[in-house]
Chains A and B, each alone.
Chain A
Amino acid sequence: MQRATANRLTPYMFMAPAVVIMVIALLYPLGYMVWGSFRDWDPSQTIGEAEFVGLKNYITLWHDPNFRESLGVTLSFAFFVVTFEMVIGVGLALLLDRNIRGMSVLRTLFILPMMIAPVVVGLMWRYMYHPTVGTFNRFFEAIGLPTVDWLGANALMSVIIADIWQWTPFIFILSLAALQSLPRSALEAARIDGATGWQQIIHIKLPLMMPVLIVTGLLRLIDAFKVLEVILVMTEGGPGLSTEILALRISRTATEFRELGVAAAMSNYLLILLLFITVMMFAFTRWQEMRANRLRAAVEGDE
């Protein structure tokens, strides 16, 4: 009897070290943050000294126009960034899914932006956007076009462009991989059935790529909500609050305004949002697995 119990416990004993590390490294800070978000907490205090205020931080935030604006900036940033990146990335993949000489070199070049550290990307674009000596405005001047106030009046658009430049390759690579794993013969059958290039894309390629595209899009969406460095380096959230995305506002609330409780509450709002997207993603993959299982069962039933 005792041996049986010991046997049953063995797997848990092996898992214990990993669980301990998870609790210390993941759950403890998370719990600390949630706990802190219910307190009026200044960095000079320990968390025990801080006054418990219940949901006050959350309610204040909910009615805070600055927070709302920041949330709006984050949402529109994520929306535009993911939309454009998906369209451009998938489009490029569709264009480059062929055997041309030097294609492997071209593909490597395409994915370079993704491999550069975000801070460097931010600095690079900041110089290129510079109103007088920046690459873009000098170019516009040279060909006689009016210059653009990149990081001033059009700051949000400018950071969106930089992010698109950096992260389109991610979608490009995954779409290209998806495209190249499509069944060749189905595409040939479509050609014989009379599908033009466009019809092949719309009726065959895109529907077959869809599972990969959905997961890719959700991954990018999660990432876009957390973006920080590039914008911090390029605009520091300005001018005004025009590019102050949530991650940036959280860091400033904690360090400049010294309101740790509010920052923690804000983090939790972001966490809830991301959790929602992640759960959707899991639900989607689960649904796909279930569908695959059902298909398999149906086939086996027939044979």
Chain B
Amino acid sequence: MPNIHLENLIKRYGDVEVLHGIELEMADNEFTVLVGPSGCGKSTTLRMIAGLEDVSEGEIYIGGKPVSRLEPKDRDLAMVFQDYALYPHMNVARNMSFALRLQKRPQAEIDKKVKEVAATLGLTDYLARKPGELSGGQRQRVAMGRALTRDAATFLFDEPLSNLDAKLRGQMRAELALMSQRVQKNMIYVTHDQIEAMTLADRIVVMHGGYIQQQGTPEELFKRPVNKFVAGFLGMPPMNFLEGEIFERDTGVFVSGDGFDLRLAADKAAAAKAHQNKEVILGVRPSDLTFDADASKQEALTLDVMVSEYVGAQSVLLCRCGPAKVMVEVNSETPVALGQTLTFAVNPNGVHLFDRHNEVAI
């Protein structure tokens, strides 16, 4: 399958520039997820790749060929829309075969292909129904079936699961993951849901304000976010941020602020030294805090527990550390009473530092 390359892609609506020079290289058969909050430009980027939006500047290459002037139909791609975009007047079979019928393929081939795809998606019994006679999940499946029948080189997904309820979304997410393993194609997937991004992606591209913030494997982004935005966007519950300053003392390099004074591990300390006496933000994920009454003060946060949210095996504690709120993920068995002041050990590898002015990781 051809690889896709976005070169300095810019999109303007009138005088307003909404995408500022997107550079992106997607490898063959890669599942790329564009993720970001509403208005970050992820859907616009996808629609430009699809050919539904004009490119203001820059170029899109598919398999090395510039395609930004081509019609959508000449780009060899299939797309699944958020609202499914099924043709309401055609039954499921005709919806799925529309592209093939336009290509004037022989009827026998079309029937075979539709049957095949319908079988893999569990739609065989619904082929004669119109979209209006299907439930949301079934419609979603038809939309995917329509893309699969095409046999296009690239699949585009524009928030395909966001119209489904939570349970169905989880189910369809698993099916999508299965499908992407089975059909080896380029997949570009847009979502605002970081869980979808983390679970599905080979490569995540985090976008914000029309810029790419960071791209890489889910693990890379989770463990080594390049800035505060990426750190806060990925991960549930989100990373805690505490304002502080870097100090060097005889006993080591410390990050300290209102309610905490934390000694940095050796590798962090080296990088942090350059920011001595400067304002920073300390970032710690809720899962990197562990309840440990005996932990030394220099390797722990002391927190006042305010609320405990029981979610089954885990509980999320909402605590206070000076003026800031901190979330902690603990085993539900942990004996915690509201109003207590407790010590939580900080995983030394889970300490993130960001410059407070440009929010870039230190």
Contact = CB atoms under 8 A, between A and B. Distances in A.
Contacts of B316: none
B133 A295 contact: yes
Contact of B79 (A183, A189, A204): A189
Interface string A218-259: 000000000000000000000000000000000000000000
Contacts of B89: 207-208
Contacts of A191: 51-52, 71-73
A190 B98 contact: yes
B85 A194 contact: no
Interface residues of A, number: 24
Given A192-B50, A194-B102, A302-B134, A186 B87 contact: yes
B246 interface: no
Given A190-B98, A299-B135, 19 more contacts: A183-B83, A183-B88, A185-B81, A186-B88, A188-B50, A191-B51, A191-B52, A191-B72, A192-B50, A192-B72, A192-B77, A193-B98, A193-B99, A193-B102, A195-B102, A196-B73, A199-B102, A295-B133, A298-B129
B86 interface: yes
Interface of B: 50-52, 71-73, 77-79, 81-89, 98-99, 102-103, 129-130, 132-135, 138, 146, 150
B102 A295 contact: no
A207 B138 CA distance: 23
A186 B85 contact: yes
> Lowest 5 CB-CB distances: which A-B pairs, in order?
A185-B85, A194-B73, A193-B99, A189-B85, A295-B132
B60 to A, nearest CB: 15
A194 B50 CA distance: 12
28 contacts: A183-B83, A183-B85, A185-B84, A186-B86, A186-B88, A188-B72, A188-B79, A188-B81, A191-B52, A192-B51, A192-B72, A192-B73, A192-B78, A193-B73, A193-B99, A194-B99, A194-B103, A195-B73, A196-B73, A203-B98, A203-B102, A207-B89, A295-B130, A295-B132, A298-B129, A299-B132, A299-B135, A303-B135
Interface in A150-185: 183, 185
Contacts of A193: 73, 98-99, 102, 146, 150
Given A186-B85, A189-B87, A195-B102, A302 B138 contact: yes
A208 B88 contact: yes
A290 to B, nearest CB: 13
Interface of A: 183, 185-186, 188-196, 199, 203-204, 207-208, 292, 295-296, 298-299, 302-303
A204 B102 contact: no
Contacts of A190: 87, 98
Nearest to A296: B132
Contacts of B51: 191-192
Contacts of B138: 302
Contacts of B87: 186, 189-190, 203-204
B43 to A, nearest CB: 12
A302 B71 CA distance: 38
Contacts of B146: 189, 193
Nearest to B84: A185
B52 A188 contact: yes
Contacts of B83: 183, 185
B99 to A, nearest CB: 4
Most chain A CB neighbours (cut-off 10 Å) among B50, B71, B98, B146: B98
